Structure 1
């Protein structure tokens, strides 16, 4: 049994086509109907023919435009698809006529988020059969994030301007705006081993000749490394694999707690911390470190083995582009991840720390040979123009720095306008090393154990 209220997709599309009739088309249709009615009442055959012509013209334009509106293809290309904040990306739009008839005038519009600028609009002349047109525009954003571009919209018109139809494509692209990366000077932190340098080789032969792990001979291997006993056993040349490069590890801890940061926008303390984490991550990757990103929620990017991938830098930047404030109130989740065995260099970007979180941060440091903390001075960041304090009751930054230094951190305060390169250079100076970071000295950071319970 057929339902009386059901409509087919073709009927819905035809109804939408008649809904796109312009003011001119409706005027022609109304004039034609009025002329036909007057001709019928007055008995004027010539006026009837004029009325039918006026009424038929917009109807024919709607039907023709309805049949040809799905024969236009559109595509979009971003160059590049990943840009730093405040940098521009070029978007190229390509429209191709895949029908056998030329198109009318097309108005092209691409949907973009408000932060990227106004919606671009272009008017294209008629496109010949099989032809194409390309237009381009630029987008930029001072705020990092992932922004969808699209869908692309085409407004089709007939040569007489009787009807306008809007076609919306389904495909869209994503523009990734990553934090701005600041070049950093080469600094050797206390207790740090270079990525492939000092301390970067692991000897596999620990208990004598029999414990050597041999491998097959490769072109270019030194013949002095041939292991004759394994060669005789396997029937092919085998060489000793005495040393194997081991990347130095680094964990970058980013405090994203909403309670630890005030304000938002490109000049906020949180954005400074995100940009700082991105800068140090890329700097250490270039030096051969295996870098992972850890947040207060306990999530890691790209993970313990992610440093072996060639796409680690892009993965880290993409993650930092989308990182937002978390609802966590404690650093306990990050503490639990680091207690599971994340030894190596530890770089932390802390927001405001109360006494309990500062003590927890001190215990976090115990699994790392070298730990550097950039502590955002919440009192300084909260001051408005003219030094007016916008909020009160904040913890004392100096006291938190003292607690972190006693726990073994190289703790540095971060004020508005601070240059990361200067702070990074200061972290490598001997005078900034905390007492607990020097072997042989006592301090809360001398212990290598992780205590149970945060």
Structure 2
């Protein structure tokens, strides 16, 4: 904000001395004090004029690296200030306004600028590190610069530049791979064997083409045909997985519907959602993210396409809870189909919910429930129906929770 009083402590003292000189000169008839007071006022006026006539800022732009900040991770903010000035300017101090969704030490020294009589724009660049603190879309800025004259008598505080919208995406946790479920859950690039009979001699072979792995060369067929042949037993498939995020506000708190980042339980659910998607896509699954009524929350992401995962993470920066509760409809979404892993991420989860979603477990090769606030023996009932279950703790280790949920020997992980 602009300071209404343009003088520093030194300048204020000089003004007080000048007034005292005028009073004493009038009472005591000392003309020299009158001259000295006038000189002080002239110095004060010149100092103020030097600040308000020498600097004019035209442009302020900001950019982030990476473009989207993430909760708990650092991003570098680059600030570029274009300044037009006819006279040399003294150094000052800059400070950028940081929103509640970020934490940073955004202040420093604004350099002195030389004379620019030709009117050329001078560029001042600086940067600082900001850490994502709260998911959502936040406004970074404005930028303020406080400068003083060479004598330290007057100061000028200006606020300029448009605010920059900054996206803070949910935290993404690196989760363990589903290595124990390669056969049952679909696998990363799961292998099927096409055999005409028993034994390796009956495997289908085809001519070698550049790019084939040397480990797949069928040496007996190659010797028989006098040319390199490779085994045809490996067929890559794209298994499918579904991540279901329950956004019903009644399962969290009213704050979850008001703004991103307001409810810790919902934040844990959103972070778990994007982390699970990242893990499954990395493992080769084609993943769909839906609400409990089947509404798509993101377009289908093909296995291995981590660029689309980054886009989804940014998209989920603004996701909030909704008023409707459709968990009971989840059975209809999977009715009549068979799919790979189904991961349900939910807030409050009671025994009635466990009974309602019990049939879904039979339509998935790996059904998982992650609940933020399970009620009674709801997770136990879900486990009896075939679900792998775990408690989602906002302050806990999501990777450990994921391991507990996917471990065949553990169906329930406590807080």
Per-residue deviation, 1:311: 4.2
Matched, 1:361 2:373: no
Cα 1:139–1:333 shift into 2, 3 Å: farther
- For 2:298, the equivalent position in structure 1 comes to 302
Q: Which has the higher strand share?
A: 2
Cα 1:308–1:340 shift into 2, 3 Å: farther
Query: Using the alignment, how far apart are the partners of 2:65 and 2:150 within structure 1?
Result: 35
| Selected match of 2:371 from 376, 394, 397 | 376
1:301 counterpart SS class: strand
Per-residue deviation, 1:349: 1.9
| Selected match of 2:84 from 88, 98, 122 | 98
Query: Using the alignment, how far apart are the partners of 1:257 and 1:29 within structure 2?
Result: 64
- For 1:412, the equivalent position in structure 2 comes to 389
Alignment coverage as a number of residue pairs: 356
TM-score by length of 1: 0.61
Per-residue deviation, 1:167: 2.2
- For 2:173, the equivalent position in structure 1 comes to 181
Per-residue deviation, 1:110: 1.6
Question: Cα deviation per residue 1:336-382 (whole Å; 9 max; x = unaligned)?
Answer: 7667999664221233322432233235567x443512243746xxx
Question: Cα deviation per residue 1:13-69 (whole Å; 9 max; x = unaligned)?
Answer: 9xx786433343344344435544665676665444333322233233333322334
2:173 counterpart SS class: coil
| Selected match of 1:112 from 76, 98, 102 | 98
Matched, 1:395 2:367: no
- For 2:146, the equivalent position in structure 1 comes to 155
Question: Cα deviation per residue 1:386-444 (whole Å; 9 max; x = unaligned)?
Answer: xxxxxxxx322354324xx53xx433233755664684586485x889xxxxxxxxxxx
Per-residue deviation, 1:98: 3.1
Query: Using the alignment, how far apart are the partners of 1:164 and 1:102 within structure 2?
Result: 15
Aligned 8 A contact 2:60 2:81 in 1: yes
Query: Using the alignment, how far apart are the partners of 1:340 and 1:82 within structure 2?
Result: 39
Cα 1:422–1:30 shift into 2, 3 Å: closer
Aligned 8 A contact 1:104 1:126 in 2: yes
Cα 1:115–1:317 shift into 2, 3 Å: closer
Per-residue deviation, 1:282: 1.4
Per-residue deviation, 1:159: 1.8
2:108 counterpart SS class: strand
Question: Cα deviation per residue 1:93-118 (whole Å; 9 max; x = unaligned)?
Answer: 44454323222221111222456446
Aligned 8 A contact 1:179 1:321 in 2: no
- For 1:331, the equivalent position in structure 2 comes to 327
Matches within 5 A, 1:215-230: none
Matched, 1:172 2:164: yes
- For 1:223, the equivalent position in structure 2 comes to none
Query: Using the alignment, how far apart are the partners of 2:287 and 2:172 within structure 1?
Result: 18
Structure 2 unaligned residues grouped into runs of 5+: 116-120, 193-209, 211-235
2:40 counterpart SS class: helix
1:276 counterpart SS class: helix
Per-residue deviation, 1:131: 5.3
Per-residue deviation, 1:286: 2.5
2:344 counterpart SS class: strand
Cα 1:358–1:137 shift into 2, 3 Å: same
1:352 counterpart SS class: strand
Cα 1:268–1:34 shift into 2, 3 Å: closer
TM-score by length of 2: 0.66
Query: Using the alignment, how far apart are the partners of 1:40 and 1:377 within structure 2?
Result: 80
1:302 counterpart SS class: strand
- For 2:51, the equivalent position in structure 1 comes to 65
Query: Using the alignment, how far apart are the partners of 1:189 and 1:197 within structure 2?
Result: 7
Cα 1:125–1:427 shift into 2, 3 Å: closer
- For 2:118, the equivalent position in structure 1 comes to none
Matched, 1:139 2:130: yes
Aligned 8 A contact 1:190 1:428 in 2: no
Query: Using the alignment, how far apart are the partners of 2:263 and 2:249 within structure 1?
Result: 16
- For 2:109, the equivalent position in structure 1 comes to 123
Aligned 8 A contact 2:96 2:141 in 1: yes
Aligned 8 A contact 1:254 1:294 in 2: yes
Structure 1 unaligned residues grouped into runs of 5+: 1-12, 200-219, 221-244, 380-393, 434-454
Cα 1:410–1:401 shift into 2, 3 Å: closer
Greater Cα offset, 329-338 or 44-53 = 329-338
Matched, 1:279 2:272: no
Cα 1:163–1:418 shift into 2, 3 Å: closer
1:71 counterpart SS class: strand
